[in-house]
């Protein structure tokens, strides 16, 4: 939506305009945009001299050879790790690079068009992919993606970049959509904020923005076409507003707002050493969700009670390969050592869905969130699963490492996972490798079936951890990454809170601990509801830690319990909003 602004335009620039989206991470950012995206359309065309042609062709051939080598390694690695079927996409990519006609056409373009190699690749790949994309045949349409992918990869090698997000200075990243694999390779220290056309509150870009403490706005249609790299933007992550071509007056206004935010943050940091307890004195274990060793160090610096969720797939994605046992062991050990005496819950790989190691969606599933994901992959790939559990068990020799299994849907899956855990321990025992025998192992409750079976699952594992990000998505059939249905993604829907309540009761009945590690727990507006539901362990992203702590300290638990029992009897999300006064927040 467009907002009108009254400020005077800056001379020589298009007039100021403000556009609205969904605010998913708070704060104010002011800085130049980096439009992340289609390297094929962005590549710079340079005219070359005839005597530069051979040099340009040599660069092109070297880039092709580099990509071929990488593809051969990918084929080998992925077929070994995930099976030959999954490596097929790389084989198709290799075949495209073996196709003489495409190569000849690109070389011809450099020779006769006298253009740089990047531009020639972009031109030819765009043309071929457009022809395929227009085809009525879905197989050929899929090949259009392959051509585009491979064209991008060759251009990246020509430009000498790994991922096309060269943030040369602190910048606001603007994109159509940002997936986990896009963001892991960015230079995080230079991300001022995110603005995307597509994405939901719990999309990974949103979670990353919150963990970096930078503002993010999703659901801003057409932003990619309205901004060019270098344009100055104001991103207001509190209000969900992006100001394009800001006037001096707007810059001043937001500058003041930012100073105010900074003061508020400074006030929050005074909470660091205060106890995490409700206004009526009930202690809450407030932990952090982490995706790296650095995050864990930050969590320790804020006195977090532990790591309630270590998303290990983030480490794999950042390093762009499947880590072997030693690499994993050393990472998990570092995280455990950053949290001496405190629990570190290490989740086994949650790949698939919206998170991939390697190419985006290699399985080409139509509905990856309901597909080959997470524990389903791990149970079929005992080699990956056993390696990871061995590494966690070994890290347990250095601190309180715990294992968490994601996306458990049935009791059968839990039993199968436990069997594998037993095998991992047997093997370590036989090899005489030190590890912690009684490493606790728990289950994530993020699928309604698991919430319904909470008591039975709790009876057979050591703890439960509620992942509301997925639980909400699966309960309400609302894609957590879609801005189109974002308004329907409501953590306070009576169906969601009933499933959380059932999970807490199930754990209690079995005398097992239960935590909540979805983003709902870190949202101050939901803290009274989460506490009222009986949760005493909450794990939140580091950027929300102090805000959540403040909300806990302001909550009167007795009152929150009373409101929650009314909310549990409510029929609609709107009724719950009235009970908890959520409309104002
Ligand atoms: C969740 O689903 O709530 C969760 C914590 O896991 P992730 O966000 O990594 O899917
Ligand atoms: Mg999840």
What domains are there in the chain, each with its CATH number?
Answer: 2-37+165-254 (3.50.30.10), 41-159 (1.10.274.10), 276-557 (3.20.20.60)
C-alpha 407 to ligand 2 mean position (Å): 7
Q: What is the pLDDT of residue 225?
A: 85
Does the C-beta of 467 come closer than 6 Å to ligand 1? yes
pLDDT (tens digit per residue) in 429-444 = 999 999 999 999 999 9
308, 350, 480: which to mutate for ligand 1, most atoms within 8 A of CB? Answer: 350
Token digits of residue 266 = 């400074």
Does the C-beta of 309 come closer than 6 Å to ligand 1? yes
pLDDT band at 6 (very low <50, low <70, confident <90, very high): very low
Q: Which atom of ligand 1 is nearest to the CA of 469?
A: 3
Token digits of residue 161 = 């970049």
Q: What is the mean pLDDT of residues 391-407?
A: 98
pLDDT band at 4 (very low <50, low <70, confident <90, very high): very low
Q: Which atom of ligand 1 is nearest to the CA of 470?
A: 2
pLDDT band at 363 (very low <50, low <70, confident <90, very high): low
Q: What is the pLDDT of residue 201?
A: 79
pLDDT (tens digit per residue) in 190-213 = 899 999 988 787 777 787 788 788
Q: What is the pLDDT of residue 95?
A: 75
Q: What is the mean pLDDT of residues 140-163?
A: 72
Q: What is the mean pLDDT of residues 240-246?
A: 92
Q: What is the pLDDT of residue 7?
A: 45
Q: Which atom of ligand 1 is nearest to the CA of 466?
A: 3
345, 517, 537: which to mutate for ligand 1, most atoms within 8 A of CB? Answer: 517
pLDDT at residue 75 is higher than 50: yes
Q: What is the pLDDT of residue 539?
A: 98
C-alpha 439 to ligand 1 mean position (Å): 22
Q: What is the pLDDT of residue 11?
A: 47
Which secondary-structure segment (H or E) carries 392? helix 382-395
Does the C-beta of 555 come closer than 6 Å to ligand 1? no
pLDDT band at 169 (very low <50, low <70, confident <90, very high): confident
Q: What is the mean pLDDT of residues 257-261?
A: 87
C-alpha 260 to ligand 1 mean position (Å): 32
Among 165, 241, 288, 517, the active-site one is 517
Closest CA to 116 of 159, 146, 150, 151: 159
pLDDT at residue 553 is higher than 80: yes
Closest CA to 408 of 382, 373, 381: 373
Q: What is the pLDDT of residue 488?
A: 94
C-alpha 470 to ligand 2 mean position (Å): 5
Q: What is the pLDDT of residue 89?
A: 60
Which ligand gives the minimal distance to the CA of 289? 1
321 labelled catalytic: no
Longest dimension (CA), the chain: 81
Q: What is the pLDDT of residue 334?
A: 96
Which of 145-159, 271-285, 499-513, 561-575 shows the lowest mean pLDDT across its residues?
145-159
Q: What is the pLDDT of residue 88?
A: 65
Which ligand gives the minimal distance to the CA of 210? 1
355, 375, 465, 467: which to mutate for ligand 1, most atoms within 8 A of CB? Answer: 467
Q: Whose CA is nearest to atom 3 of ligand 1?
A: 467
Q: What is the mean pLDDT of residues 543-567?
A: 96
**Using the 8-state DSSP alphabet, how is residue 115 labeled?**
B
Q: Which atom of ligand 1 is nearest to the CA of 204?
A: 8
pLDDT (tens digit per residue) in 440-467 = 999 999 999 999 999 999 999 999 999 9
**Averaged pLDDT score across all residues of the chain:** 87
Does the C-beta of 564 come closer than 6 Å to ligand 1? no
More confident: 352 or 84? 352
Which of 87-91, 234-238, 568-572 shows the lowest mean pLDDT across its residues?
87-91
C-alpha 422 to ligand 2 mean position (Å): 25
Q: What is the pLDDT of residue 86?
A: 55
pLDDT band at 165 (very low <50, low <70, confident <90, very high): low
Does the C-beta of 311 come closer than 6 Å to ligand 1? yes
Q: Which atom of ligand 1 is nearest to the CA of 518?
A: 3
pLDDT at residue 8 is higher than 50: no
Does the C-beta of 470 come closer than 6 Å to ligand 1? yes
Share of residues in the chain with pLDDT > 90 (%) = 55
Listing DSSP states for 208-254 in one string gives HHHHHT--EEE--TTHHHH--TT-EEEEETTTTEEEES--HHHHHHH
Does the C-beta of 468 come closer than 6 Å to ligand 1? yes
Among 204, 241, 288, 492, the active-site one is 204
Q: What is the mean pLDDT of residues 180-197?
A: 77
β-strands 22-25, 216-218: how paired?
antiparallel
Listing DSSP states for 116-147 in one string gives -HHHHHHHHHHHHHHHHHTSS-HHHHHHHHHH
Share of residues in the chain with pLDDT > 70 (%) = 86
- How many Å separate Cα 308 from the centre of its chain? 16
Closest CA to 37 of 212, 271, 194, 190: 194
Dihedral angle over CA of 143, 147, 153, 155, nearest 10: -170
517 labelled catalytic: yes
C-alpha R_g of the chain: 25
Which of 80-84, 402-406, 428-432 shows the lowest mean pLDDT across its residues?
80-84
pLDDT band at 38 (very low <50, low <70, confident <90, very high): low
Q: What is the pLDDT of residue 364?
A: 65
Q: What is the pLDDT of residue 156?
A: 78
Does the C-beta of 517 come closer than 6 Å to ligand 1? yes
pLDDT band at 39 (very low <50, low <70, confident <90, very high): low
């Amino acid at each position: 939506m467009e907002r009108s602004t009254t400020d005077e335009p800056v001379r020589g620039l298009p007039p100021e305009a403000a556009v609205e989206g969904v605010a998913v991470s708070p704060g104010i950012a002011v800085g130049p945009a980096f439009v992340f995206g289609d390297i094929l359309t962005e590549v710079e065309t340079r005219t070359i001299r005839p005597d530069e042609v051979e040099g340009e062709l040599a660069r092109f051939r070297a880039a092709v050879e580099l990509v071929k080598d990488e593809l051969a390694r990918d084929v080998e690695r992925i077929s070994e790790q995930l099976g030959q079927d999954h490596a097929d996409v790389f084989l198709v990519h290799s075949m495209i690079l073996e196709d003489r006609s495409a190569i000849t056409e690109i070389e011809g373009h450099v020779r006769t068009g006298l253009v740089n190699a990047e531009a020639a690749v972009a031109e030819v790949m765009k043309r071929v992919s457009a022809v395929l994309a227009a085809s009525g045949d879905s197989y050929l349409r899929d090949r259009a993606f392959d051509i585009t992918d491979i064209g991008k990869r060759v251009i990246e090698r020509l430009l000498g970049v790994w991922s096309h997000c060269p943030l040369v200075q602190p910048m606001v990243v603007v994109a159509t959509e940002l997936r986990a694999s896009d963001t892991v390779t960015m230079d995080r220290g230079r991300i001022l904020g995110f603005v995307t056309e597509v994405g939901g509150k719990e999309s990974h870009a949103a979670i990353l923005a919150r963990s970096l403490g930078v503002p993010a706005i999703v659901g801003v249609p057409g932003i990619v076409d309205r901004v060019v790299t270098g344009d100055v933007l104001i991103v207001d992550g509190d209000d969900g507003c992006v100001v394009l071509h800001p006037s001096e007056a707007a810059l001043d206004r937001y500058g003041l707002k930012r100073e105010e935010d900074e003061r508020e943050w400074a006030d929050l940091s005074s909470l660091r050493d205060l106890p995490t307890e409700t206004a009526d004195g009930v202690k809450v274990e407030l932990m952090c969700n982490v995706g790296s060793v650095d995050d864990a160090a930050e969590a320790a610096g804020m006195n977090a009670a532990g790591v309630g969720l270590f998303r290990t797939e983030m480490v794999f994605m950042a390093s762009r390969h499947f880590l072997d046992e030693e690499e994993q062991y050393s990472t998990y050990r570092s995280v455990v050592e950053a949290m001496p005496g405190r629990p570190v819950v290490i989740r086994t790989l949650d790949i698939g869905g919206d998170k991939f190691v390697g190419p985006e969606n290699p399985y080409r599933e139509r509905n990856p969130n309901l597909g080959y994901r997470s524990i389903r992959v791990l149970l079929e790939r005992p080699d990956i699963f056993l390696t990871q559990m061995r590494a966690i068990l070994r890290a347990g020799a250095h601190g309180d490492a715990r294992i968490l299994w994601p996306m458990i849907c049935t009791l059968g899956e839990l039993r199968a996972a436990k069997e594998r855990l037993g095998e991992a321990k047997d093997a370590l025992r036989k090899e005489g490798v030190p590890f912690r025998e009684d490493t606790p192992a728990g289950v994530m409750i993020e699928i309604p079936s698991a919430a319904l079976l909470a008591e039975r699952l709790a009876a057979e594992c050591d703890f439960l951890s509620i992942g509301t990000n997925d639980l909400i998505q699966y309960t309400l059939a609302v894609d957590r990454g879609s801005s189109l249905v974002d308004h329907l993604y409501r953590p306070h829907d009576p169906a969601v809170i009933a499933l959380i309540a059932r999970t807490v009761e199930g754990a209690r009945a079995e005398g097992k601990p239960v935590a909540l590690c979805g983003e709902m727990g870190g949202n101050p507006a939901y803290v009274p509801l989460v506490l009222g539901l009986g949760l005493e362990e909450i794990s939140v992203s580091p950027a929300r830690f102090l805000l959540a702590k403040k909300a806990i300290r302001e909550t009167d638990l007795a009152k929150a319990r009373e409101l929650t029992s009314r909310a549990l009897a409510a029929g609609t999300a709107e009724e719950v909003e009235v009970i908890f006064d959520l409309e104002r927040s």
